[in-house]
Homo-oligomer: A and B are copies of this chain.
Amino acid sequence: MTATPARRRELLDTAAEVFAAQGYNATTVRRIADEAGMLAGSLYYHFDSKESMVDEILSTFLTELWAGYDAVLEAGLGPRETIEALVTESFREIDRHRAAVAIYQKESKQLAALPRFHYLTDSQTKFEKAWLGTLERGVADGVFRTDLDIRLTYRFVRDTVWVAASWYRPGGQHSPEEIARQYLSMVLDGISVVT
């Protein structure tokens, strides 16, 4: 007999997969239940609502993400190394929580409108502070170019990394670290040959 928290995880993983594939709104509770081999009503023994399922999926993911990010940010690295570490950590999270990341990308804007999901906005703010701050520090330190709009750069780097969740498939050709390495190489040095 599976212990309750394990069963919960299992169900949430199933739900996350379906949410990621079909979108939160387009996913019916019945579909999740089907995938989990039970009837729709039975899910309500485990969860209060469909909303609380995404909630748990996203908050679990964000908790882990911030554990990793905070560790990086508190490590006292230089701006370039911080960026490198954040990107690498991000791809690791994508690897571990692909579905959750995809949901986050697609649905967080909608969900953030609901009070219970305000933490998404908070996270967004913290996120921006971390990345933008690091980039600014890098510009000040002379490691990043000064001729670029810093907010544009921020969006560029941020999106560049996270959209990867839309095509990334765990167990593919490249490890998350390898993908991070190539992405960083492109972001930092560009794709053109230096002449």
Q: Is the CB of B153 within 8 A of A191?
A: yes
Q: How far is B149's CA from A143's CA once the two chains are assembled, in angstroms? A: 26
- The residues in A between 151 and 176 inclusive whose CB is less than 8 angstroms from any CB of B are 152-153, 155-157, 159-160, 163-164, 166-167, 174
Given contacts A22-B110, A23-B25, A160-B159, contact A187 B185 (CB under 8 A): no
A126 to chain B, nearest CB (A): 18
Whether, in the assembled complex, A131 has its beta carbon less than 8 Å from a beta carbon of chain B, the answer is no
Count contacts on A: residues with CB < 8 A to the other chain. Answer: 39
A contact patch SS: helix
- A145 contacts B by Cβ under 8 Å: yes
A selection of 13 A-B contacts at a CB cut-off of 8 Å is: A22-B110, A144-B192, A145-B193, A148-B182, A152-B174, A152-B179, A153-B191, A155-B164, A156-B160, A156-B183, A187-B190, A187-B191, A189-B189
Residues of A within 8 A of B (CB): 22-23, 25-26, 80, 106, 110, 142-145, 147-149, 152-153, 155-157, 159-160, 163-164, 166-167, 174, 179, 182-183, 185-194
